[in-house]
Chain A
């Protein structure tokens, strides 16, 4: 799925400019890092892509669909194609690991047997098969992140957005999460990951969009985070 930001500006109510005339394109199946200090506009870009925020100016295209002018009723459909992994995991603490992952399929109206099968498959991918009946409160931060990853990919989205998915994790677990994201990308899913993690960005040799104060300052095909 092709993504295009054209002269996108996002201004908050108090005149804070989170994004200023930002333009970039992401090809289908690409793996892109968004890097920069806090307040650079990384999360704003991701939230604009799932229509959690609406741009003040500019056009955001997802193939031919203009997200900026998307009707409210079409938002759920968009979020099934563009899934997001949050830094704070956003898992449901009153549901088991399996149930948390199954939500993404239930909302698509999949039959129960298909849900069970796919949940098992994806939990195997993120190495949580043995935790299927456990509640999030019994799990570590790394495992919670993996639930969030599993939930975001189980429905087969075309784009996966990850907002600081390794922010709360130790280096070993961070690498495990990145391995999962790389696997998902290999399957054809476009991945855009916002991160501060210098080691990961520098070792992956993927496209890096560097941001500062709401503007893109560098866009390198096989970049580094300096």
Chain B
């Protein structure tokens, strides 16, 4: 009878303790998984906005080409600026035509003359956007400055909050799981003190006595993380069609299968780690001698 049989016997003999340990592990991994997914999702959305031309400066027709070039050169020298791109009136018409290619009426009414030239400026960090916008407002012959300040501010604030709240919750729940599993395994060790003594007297090595308890911790971690992953994936699969229209153009959906696999591997690795840690703590505390 190997380690697996001994472990199975431990679990089967006290199913309520096993249920409690697995439930707490599942809750931990369910919440951790949710915050991980939210964090990954919000980071992708934020990156999308960060990579887009963040400020568009539209010029009046009176703006001279030399002044535009000089402004571009100045911007390129700034640390806060990642890239600068000039969009001429002709380029603007091409963009317009592409956007409204299915509406011939709108295309007929527009020519390059009526569209303004512009430059698109990307910042190295999204936080620099308001500073850059204020600086560009002071330029002469600027008709309008457009940048998604509110969206970005909200996203930055959301992403930061999700990460901070998620991290706190994950740490708290991990500790609760850890102590629950430590308590469950410690109780089992206490109940099996006589059996452990007998095994020691017949010459069982330490690993033989410790392994079933260690395996038990690993099983709690693995089962908890697997259920947590399954529930998270089911929620994601169910919610995907509802979320897709809200994120058109942002590379969030469809979620690649490899992501699910990586997500599962991460959860299982963390579950195993938490299970090993808990069982080692319990074993070292109660089986030292």
> A residues near B, CB below 8 A?
50, 52, 73, 75-80, 83-84, 86, 90-92, 94, 99, 102-104, 106-107, 151-152, 155
Contact = CB atoms under 8 A, between A and B. Distances in A.
B9 interface: yes
A99 B203 contact: no
A127 B252 CA distance: 71
Contacts of A77: 203
A152 B202 CA distance: 7
A79 B202 contact: yes
B7 to A, nearest CB: 14
Residues of B in contact with A, size category:
10 to 19
Nearest to A157: B203
B1 A99 contact: yes
A84 B201 CA distance: 8
Contact of A103 (B13, B197, B202): B202
Query: Of A78, A103, A155, which is in contact with the most chain B CB atoms at under 10 Å from its CB?
Result: A103
Given A99-B1, A106-B2, A107-B208, A79 B201 contact: yes
A50 B200 CA distance: 11
A91 B201 CA distance: 11
Q: Is the interface of A mostly helix, strand, loop or mixed?
A: helix
A55 B110 CA distance: 104
A92 B201 contact: no
B201 A90 contact: yes
Contact of A90 (B9, B198, B203): B198
A35 B203 CA distance: 26
Contacts of A91: 198
Contacts of A75: 200
Contacts of B13: 94
B205 interface: yes
Contacts of A152: 202
Contacts of A84: 201
A76, A78, A83: most-surrounded residue (chain B CB, <10 A) = A76
Nearest to A78: B203
Specify which of B9, B195, B197 lies most central, judged by the most chain A CB atoms within 10 Å of its CB.
B195
A216 to B, nearest CB: 25
Interface in B25-57: none
A76 B198 CA distance: 12
B269 interface: no
Contacts of B195: 92, 94
Interface in B194-248: 195, 197-206, 208
Contact of A76 (B2, B197, B203): B203
Contacts of A106: 1-2, 208
